[in-house]
């Protein structure tokens, strides 16, 4: 009864219906009988050829991650390097889709030595990996490796989404251990207080989490397509029903859109890590309330005491900015900068200055609640990237000769974007 589909069928003498059926069958075959609507033309992109192309080298690899050091584009760089931790729910190249909107490329152009973690895409053999492994073999190891290569005592760390949450856990652990390796922390859309679960409330009730736990016990993993489906149904018109109508009813080929290609190139989560996150952080809110047990320590949100800049997004449906704000308020840092960017979880972060598309809000008074903060905030046209860089510059030391990737102890292993990012999620 869809009038557009009927009109298209008449116009094409039924060819649109045949193509739509072929699209449907192709999607079912590609996902072992599960109906997952393809959002993008997967043949249009190749990692390392026309996406994720910023030059660099993998300078370290272990069972958790590859560490990429990007090539300098300036003759001198700031002494203190940046270590960026992307979420392992998705792949890091959301920050390096193409030259025009690559945060990774832009950071190197501002004169910084940049390291980026590319996480393992786990299989069933990695079921027992937990948050302790991500912290110890991921965060702490990446920081130590960057320090060693650059011959410095401190780095500036960045964590995006779940990696921002875990960076905060890591900072609490480092505080308890007396480790001062992190000079400042930048958090992109990172939740640390889960007391208000917002749109995710239905997905964080026991009946749903019990089902996830059963899935994890059966497969050892929280499989990528289950997470993708959950996130998609939060924006079902854009990510489920609209694409299904265009593909199956109108017989249209999915668009060649890099962002949607990335969205479909998901990653699995190890079973133990997924349940620690869902039960301990999301459901019980232990980091903000009572303490989260990790590596023999009870970690508290108030123990995040390094200078912090938190970038949040106004229409973010995954990490609501008001919830992010509440977490930052509870951190023990004496230097906190909070920014609300226009748009959502991805577009609010991937917002290069050249596009001049989305603005951002700032307010130095973090004493009131989120509504009071926004009422007193100042709106600024354009991207928050230059504001962050100005903040970072004050914490990045003197200029030194630009560093080529690696050193004698960490020779380049393979060109960026590396090998781990090419691994597809396994069922």
Measured between its terminal Cα atoms, the distance across the chain in Å is: 36
Q: Which residues contact 387 (CB under 8 A, 6 or more apart)?
A: 339, 360, 362, 380
Tell me if 208 is assigned to some domain: no
Q: What CA–CA distance (Å, rounded) separates 128 from 118?
A: 20
User: pLDDT tens digit string along 38-61?
Assistant: 777 888 999 999 999 999 999 999
pTM for this predicted structure: 0.91
13: exposed, middle or buried (Cβ count in 10 Å: 0-12, 13-18, 19+): exposed
Burial class (CB in 10 A: 0-12, 13-18, 19+), 143: buried
Question: Beta-carbon neighbour count of residue 155 at 10 Å?
Answer: 24
CA–CA dist 126, 124 (Å, integer): 5
**Cα 209-211-215 angle, rounded to 5 deg:** 115
Is 14 part of any domain? no
**CA–CA dist 306, 20 (Å, integer):** 54
Domain region containing 366: 56-201+296-422
The pLDDT value recorded for residue 204 is 79
> Would 180 be classed as within a structural domain?
yes
Using CA atoms, how far apart are residues 377 and 362, in angstroms rounded to an integer?
A: 5
**Burial of 302 from C-beta contacts in 10 A (0-12 / 13-18 / 19+):** middle
Q: How many domains does the chain have?
A: 1
Rg (CA), the chain: 22
- What lies within 8 Å, CB to CB, of 413 at 6+ separation is 57, 58, 59, 60, 61, 66
Q: Among 274, 241, 239, 112, which Cα is nearest to 184's? A: 112
Query: Facing residues of 70 across strands?
Result: 56
Give every residue of the chain whose pLDDT is below 50, as ranges. none
> What's the pLDDT score for residue 251?
86
Per-residue pLDDT, 240: 75
Who's near 238: CB < 8 A, 6+ residues apart? Answer: none
**Cα–Cα–Cα angle for 65, 71, 76, rounded to 5 degrees:** 130
**Spatial CB neighbours of 318, under 8 Å, sequence gap ≥ 6:** 161, 189, 200, 231, 234, 345
Q: Is residue 234 part of a domain?
A: no
Which one of the listed residues 150, 161, 282, 324 is annotated catalytic?
161
| Number of C-beta neighbours around residue 353 at 10 A | 13
Strand partners, 312: 340
User: pLDDT tens across 270-287, in order?
Assistant: 999 999 999 999 999 999
In a domain, 347, yes or no: yes
Domain with residue 157: its CATH number is 3.40.50.1820
Q: How far apart are CA 252 and CA 5, in angstroms?
A: 11
For residue 155, give both structure tokens. 């780095």
Residue 67 lies in a domain: yes
pLDDT of residue 406: 97
286 belongs to a structural domain? no
Residue 263 inside a domain? The answer is no
How far is 24 from 246, CA to CA, in rounded Å?
11
Residue 161 is a catalytic residue:
yes
Phi, psi of 174 (to 5 degrees): -65, -35
Contacts of 297 (CB under 8 A, 6+ apart): 172, 173, 176, 177
DSSP secondary structure letter of residue 51: B
Report which of 194, 190, 112 is spatially closest to residue 146, judged by C-alpha positions: 112
Q: How far apart are CA 352 and CA 354, in angstroms?
A: 5
Helices (H) and strands (E) in the chain — how many of each?
15, 17
Structure tokens at 172: 């609490």
């Amino acid at each position: 009864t869809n009038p557009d589909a009927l009109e298209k069928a008449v116009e094409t003498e039924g060819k649109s219906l045949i193509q739509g059926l072929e699209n449907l069958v192709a999607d079912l075959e590609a996902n072992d009988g599960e109906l997952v609507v393809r959002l993008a033309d997967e043949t249009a992109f190749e990692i390392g050829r026309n996406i994720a192309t910023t030059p660099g080298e993998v300078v370290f690899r272990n069972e958790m991650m590859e560490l990429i050091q990007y090539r300098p584009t300036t003759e001198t760089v700031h002494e203190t390097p940046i270590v960026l931790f992307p979420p392992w729910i998705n792949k890091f190249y959301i920050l390096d889709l193409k030259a025009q909107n690559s945060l990774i490329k832009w950071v190197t152009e501002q004169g910084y030595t940049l390291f980026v973690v590319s996480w393992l895409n786990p299989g069933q053999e990695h079921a027992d990996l937990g948050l302790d492994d991500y912290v110890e073999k991921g965060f702490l190891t990446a920081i130590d490796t960057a320090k060693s290569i650059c011959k410095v005592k401190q780095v500036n760390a960045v964590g995006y989404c779940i990696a921002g949450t875990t960076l905060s856990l890591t900072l609490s652990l480092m505080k308890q251990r007396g480790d001062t390796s992190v000079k400042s922390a930048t958090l992109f859309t990172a939740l640390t207080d889960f007391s208000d679960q917002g749109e995710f409330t239905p997905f964080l009730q026991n009946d749903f989490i019990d089902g996830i736990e059963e899935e994890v016990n059966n497969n050892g993993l929280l499989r990528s397509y289950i997470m993708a489906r959950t996130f998609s149904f939060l924006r079902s018109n854009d990510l489920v029903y609209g694409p299904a109508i265009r593909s199956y009813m109108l017989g249209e080929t999915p668009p060649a859109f890099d962002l949607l290609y990335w969205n479909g190139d998901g990653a699995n989560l190890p079973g133990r890590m997924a349940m620690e996150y869902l039960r301990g952080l999301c459901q019980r809110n232990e980091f903000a309330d009572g303490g989260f047990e990790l590596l023999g320590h009870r970690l508290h949100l108030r123990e995040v005491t390094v200078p912090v800049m938190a970038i949040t997004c106004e229409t973010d449906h995954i990490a609501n900015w008001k919830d992010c704000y509440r977490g930052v308020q509870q951190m023990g840092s004496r230097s906190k900068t909070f920014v609300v960017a226009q748009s959502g979880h991805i577009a609010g972060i991937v917002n290069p200055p050249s596009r001049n598309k989305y603005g951002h809000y700032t307010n130095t008074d973090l004493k009131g609640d989120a509504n009071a903060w926004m009422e007193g905030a100042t709106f600024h046209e354009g991207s928050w990237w230059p504001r962050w860089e100005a903040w970072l510059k004050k914490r990045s030391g003197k200029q030194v000769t630009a560093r080529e990737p690696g050193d004698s102890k960490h020779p380049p292993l393979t060109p960026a974007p590396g090998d781990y990012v090419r691994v597809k999620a396994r069922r």
